[in-house]
Amino acid sequence: MPWFKKTSKSQPVLAPKKEELWVICPNCKAHIFRQEWEKNINVCPRCMFHDRIPWQKRLELLIDAGTFREFGTNIGVIDHLNFADASGKFIDKARATMAKTGLKESVITGHGKIHGLPVIIAIMEFEFLGGSLGSGTGEKITLAATRALRLKRPYIIVSASGGARMQEGIISLMQMAKTCAAIARLHQARIPYISVLTHPTTGGVSASYAMVGDVNIAEPGVLIGFAGRRVIEQTIKEKLPPGFQTAEYLLEHGFIDMIVTRREMKDTLYRILKYWMPNKTR
C-alpha cells in the first residue's frame, strides 16, 4: 500500500489508515481476529481475560433496553487548584477529554431496570482521564447513593479506574471518605449495594467504594489493587507471587466474593437482588 496518495491538485497527503485485522490480548498476548474479539465483547477466547469496554456497551449488557434514565448530567470537572505541569494545563486536558468522549465526568449515573427490577447504577468510563476519581466523580456517586437511599432501590457501581485524580489534590482524596460515608448509610438502611470490579480497578477507587460492597463481584482476569506491582516490590524488597492483584488471586484470599463473566453478569445481579429484596418489583 502506498504511504501517500495525490489529490486533484497533486498535493501529497497521508493515505487513510486501515483498521487492524488483529487484536493482541493484553494478558496472554495471543493474536485474536478483530471480528472474533468484538463478537466476544472484548473477551479473549484463549485466556478469558476481560478487557475494557465503553460505558455504553456496559449499560447495554446490564440494563433493560429503554429503561435507563441518566441524572447528574450537570456535574463536571472543576480545576480547583488551577493545576498545570510541563505538558500543559489540566483544565485544557479535561476539556479535550470531554470533547473526545462526550462526557463531563468519569462516571455515568442513572435509573434503570435489570429484568424488570429497578436499580440505581453508576458506570465508570476509563477513557475519561483514566477513570480517575475527581470531585465531580465523587459528587455523582454520592448523589446516586443518596437517591438510592431515598427511593429504597439497590445501588450498583461498575468500577474502572486508575485511582484518585492527582490534579485535584486533597479534594480528590476527600471523595474516598465522602463516597464511603454515603454507602454506609445504605448499609444502615439495609439497601443492597453491589460493587462490580472491571479492568482495572486501582488506587483510591479500590481503596474506597469499590471494595465495600455487600457483594463484591469481579470479571475474570482483571487487575484489582492499590499500588502497582513494581512499587510494592521496590518498597518491600520482595518478589510478589504470580497472579498477584488479579481477580482470581483476590478471590482465593477473600477480598472479593465471586468472579462472573461478562455475559452472565446481568443474570447474576438479578438473582442476588431478588434474593435480597424478593418483593421489590417497582
Q: Is the pLDDT of residue 268 over 70?
A: yes
The CATH fold of domain 51-276:
2-enoyl-CoA Hydratase; Chain A, domain 1 (3.90.226)
93: β partners: none
* Mean pLDDT of the residues in the chain: 91
pLDDT tens, 192-236?
A: 999 999 999 999 999 999 999 999 999 999 999 998 888 888 888
Reported as a pLDDT band with limits 50, 70 and 90, residue 99 is very high
Identify the DSSP state of 78.
-
Please report where in the chains the cell 477466547 appears, as a residue: 45
pLDDT at 16: 46
Q: What pLDDT does residue 282 have?
A: 56
pLDDT tens-digit map of 104-146: 999 999 999 999 999 999 999 999 999 999 999 999 999 999 9
Q: What is the pLDDT of residue 18?
A: 55
Kindly indicate the confidence band of residue 281, based on its pLDDT and cuts at 50, 70 and 90: low
CA–CA distance, 223 with 212 (Å, rounded to integer): 17
* Structural domain spans, the chain: 16-49, 51-276
CB neighbours of residue 121 within 10 Å: 28
36-82 tens-digit pLDDT: 999 999 999 999 999 999 999 999 999 999 999 999 999 999 999 99
Calpha distance 262→43 (Å, rounded): 8
Handedness of CA 249, 184, 203, 50 (dihedral sign): positive
Residues of 7-31 as b/e, b for ≥16 C-beta within 10 angstroms? eeeeeeeeeeeeeeeebebebeeee
